[in-house]
Amino acid sequence: MRGREILLGVSGGVAAFKAAALASRLVQAGAGVSVVMTPAATRFVGPTTFEALTGRTVHVDMFSPREHFQGEHIGLARRADVAVVAPATAQTLARLAAGMADDLLSATLLCFTGPVLLAPAMNCEMWSKASVQRNVARLREDGFELIGPGQGWLSCGQVGPGRMAEPEEILERIATVASDGSQDNGTAACES
């Protein structure tokens, strides 16, 4: 993965702590990692954690001072080879399935034309809802790849489906996708 650019989206669920381990492993594997967090994600893990692990500024606000002159969402999308959202909450899955762009993460992913991996994490009742399963089906139809969720102990005290895949499993899939060389850095649909 050396030299590859990974966009790591972190949405607001208790499994966000696993995203920090994933960011660390990606950096150790030689990837550049840009992190976009939803505002809710910052309530679970602070941006400073990801900044320390990646050596880069964490992006949360759509209208913060811009690093990219085109807008954060466009610049971040064009920089990345692969995007992964871990954890991908029910809210994030719904936004992506609807094509919404009402926060920095969803806007960035709407601009991104490379492979997007989603690692869902939520309560088992939420995961089993028809609306969530419709969103998952739509996302798969639209070319998103889901990693998990697995079965296991959930923070709500139940055992069932909804547990986010472990960082090692996600890392292996990112490495496979990043090595195929078909990424276009988000500009395939546009002409200069």
pTM: 0.90
Q: Which of 172, 164, 167, 143 is nearest to 88 (CA)?
A: 164
Containing structural domain, residue 57 = 5-178
Q: Which of 15, 89, 88, 10 is nearest to 50 (CA)?
A: 10
| 191 in any annotated domain | no
| 192 in any annotated domain | no
| 97 in any annotated domain | yes
Alpha-helix runs per DSSP H in the chain: 16-28, 47-54, 72-79, 90-98, 104-111, 124-128, 130-141, 167-178
Q: Give the mean model confidence (pLDDT) for residues 176-191.
A: 64
How far apart are the C-alpha atoms of 71 and 53, rounded to whole Å?
24
| 24 in any annotated domain | yes
Q: List the CATH number of the domain containing 121.
A: 3.40.50.1950
Count of domains for the chain: 1
Q: What tokens does 153 get?
A: 């102990």
156 vs 145, residue with greater confidence = 145
Q: Is pLDDT above 50 for 186?
A: no
- The pLDDT tens digits of the residues spanning 56-91 come to 999 998 776 655 556 678 889 888 999 999 999 999
Does the annotation count 156 as an active-site position?
Answer: yes
